[in-house]
Chain A
Amino acid sequence: MADANISILDGNTFVVSDRRGDVDATPTDTQGLFHNDTRFLSRWILTVDGQRPNVLSVDSLDYFASQFFLVPGTGTVYVDSPLSIVRQRAVGQGFHEDLTILNHVAEAKDIDVRLEADCDFADLFEVKDALSKKGERYRRVEDHRLVLGYRREQFVRETWISTNADATLDDHGFRFRVHLEPHGTWKAAVDVVTARTGFSDSSKRPKYAHAHEAPRPNMGASLDAWLAQAPKLVTSWPSLAQTYHRSLVDLAALRFSPLLAPGQALPAAGLPWFMAVFGRDSLLTSLQALPFSHELARTTLMVLGLRQGTTRDDFRDEEPGRILHESRLGELTAFEERPHSPYFGSADATPLFLILLDEYERWTGDEDLVRKLEPQARAALHWIDEWGDRDHDGYIEYERRNAKTGLENQCWKDSWDSIAFADGTLAPLPRATCELQGYAYDAKRRCARLAREIWGDQRAAERLTTEAADLKRRFNADYWIPERKFFALALDGKKRKVDSLTSNIGHLLWSGIVDEDKARACVDHLLGDQLFSAWGIRTMAASEGRYNPIGYHVETVWPFDNSFIAWGLRRYGYRNEAARVAMGILEAAEYFHGRLPEAFAGYPRSKTEFPVEYPTACSPQAWSTGAPLLFLRTLLGLEPIGDRLLVDPALPTTLEQLELLDIPGRWGRTDAMGRGRIDLGESSSRF
């Protein structure tokens, strides 16, 4: 499962190249140097004597650096190349590239080295949708550098490229006439600078002077410090150790310092398309990572609270109290051809914000933040009741006000066909998906605790407790499908039950909204053949009309989805079932070298023997990166109780013994350990 592209990043600046290190963007191959949602380099091609070299190997030195070992094409494997080419690249405020050419023979060589450069200054949305530009591109050579630029009215973006070596510059790149002595070496350093970005972070040189520098993250702890602060995992399963380490490293790489909180980190949603603030993704990832890092949750809450909706703005689907969905900074956003400044079209981010606020305080004891965000929390609660529940039937439902560029589905399953009846018919809008009601229930219960214990508002606590109980009672009556014994995926615009069997019922267990006498039936469905592939729980059951073997939200297995479902299974006491789900995904991770993709196909494990990656999945993706962390929490049964951490392990025998040491929290640091006692039988094939 080797990736054809190489991606390195520094916050929301990243380079996607091929395995030569070249960038050659086409409508179907989305390579480039990107910064603040704009492509600052779309062509970066190295040739030696007019030929593109062949790849020997690629090394990832760190999340921000890579090196490419190349040889000129000799035309045959029987002739050793007389030359080696090494490209070492470090990204940050553009990138720095060291180019080294080694002569391996005892005769001098004269070669022609060319670096071609170009830029389309595409907005990320234009890259994805192949749209054309409305402004003018320009290029010029000045002061020993090549300037590539784009102007539309006062919107100006520029890339500056320069080198320390003797070179001939023209409008399309650099030419080096290289003379190599016998066994000689030639070096050149090239700086590519995102020089005029529209922000005050513009710089005249890249962040790193060479690829072997120690990383200097734009926020929070360095990678080494981040890893040192994380709890230590002790396991006899090497794959789990690899997955845990990979998750921590990827989460560090996905840390993102947004405009609203310079120097602080929240998790961006994924590389390359989602290096931006996303409400839902940042909130869920922060929840997954809470036992391991508090910083992500704190920044996420601060940033989303700061830019909470204040008014009704139909273009942005903004409403008072609503938590944002996605924030972008590119040209289409600037000229309001896309609504992401920010866009608020998410129905779940608002209750999830409240859930994270409470969970964060349970882990950290940071009452100051809960007090500071009290106005935002109250505004979010008001949104749930007034704006989220448009028709005042007691349930959150969504329908975009921006019919042109807004999102049709505003739940996590946001593809066009995800909310459908069992016969395959799409559900009419507005849609009140079931998990939204579970989140609202959980949010109210949690905020009742915050009102009682921190805000000092007993009346609000009692009101929220009553409202939550009423919501639970109504939901269990209105969404339950007695003849199929599961909860409807949604109520549609005509208040009909959308009767497809989906993984959403697992989120209901996590929320606690399910009556005890209905939980067993939900668990049987989740672990039944129609939903459970033995690698994980599918998004939609194979029995349903809209089921598609490679459908994005209508069949695939999403690791993040499974991690919250497993948490829900534990909540209702289904320890063995939670362990079974956790082990399926963690075993799948082995096939992805510890980096779980966004989603993989839901083919039965008995048929494929390995998990089949979904073709367009984004990787690394934050909530997939966070999934192993939440599985560890679930397997070890970690729950903060006051100033102590409850540890109640439920581990399969195949895990033998598991230890998680130095777990941070309001207790300081503590350890959790458990011994495998659950026999999962044939379903777990680890050994």
Chain B
Amino acid sequence: MPDTARSIISEFQRRHGDRRPDPRLQGFAGSYRFDVEGVGSWRLEVHDKIATMTESTAPADCVLRCNEADFVRIARGEQNLLTAFLQGRVQLEGDYALGQRFHGFIRTALDRAA
């Protein structure tokens, strides 16, 4: 399992690099930006069942800000995003509905076979 923010992002890009539509992403639409403290910012766009991740600080529908340890735990499904947010460990801006869906989405996306 990837254990750094960059390795998780790389793994995601590897699994979704072919830009094939993924039927399991039906119903997801919008953009996220992850600001991982001290590491970097990435922007994830989901459109027509295709997910694209790029290093970027461009605006997004939903912005999640946290430290690297929390990002890794959330992406690996070990930490519930809502409880991390309620504890004050994750800041969430923009579309809360998208934020709430991130938990299911990121697991679906990372589970995808490369």
Contact = CB atoms under 8 A, between A and B. Distances in A.
B87 A155 contact: yes
Interface in B13-45: 26-27
Interface residues of A, number: 25
Contacts of B87: 153-155, 334-335
Contacts of A154: 87-89
Nearest to B104: A310
A375 interface: yes
Contacts of A329: 86
Contacts of A311: 77, 104, 107
A262 B86 contact: no
Contacts of A307: 100-101
A334 B108 contact: no
A331 B87 CA distance: 8
A-side interface mostly: loop
Interface string A134-165: 00000000000000000001111000000000
B93 interface: yes
Given A156-B88, A198-B88, A375-B27, A336 B83 contact: yes
Contacts of A606: none
Contacts of B101: 306-307
Interface centre among A259, A261, A329, A376 (most CB of B within 10 A): A259
Interface string A329-359: 1010111100001100000000000000000
Interface in A293-311: 306-307, 310-311
A156 B108 CA distance: 32
Interface residues of B, number: 21
A200 interface: yes
Interface in A20-40: none
A259 B100 contact: yes
A198 B92 CA distance: 10
Contacts of A261: 97
Contacts of B85: 198
Contacts of B80: 336, 341
B100 A341 contact: no
A260 interface: yes
Interface in A265-292: none
Contact of A306 (B26, B77, B89, B100): B100
A261 B100 CA distance: 11
B110 to A, nearest CB: 12
A185 to B, nearest CB: 44
A262 B96 contact: yes
A316 to B, nearest CB: 8
B88 A341 contact: no
A311 B80 CA distance: 12
8 contacts: A200-B93, A260-B96, A260-B100, A306-B97, A311-B104, A335-B83, A341-B80, A341-B83
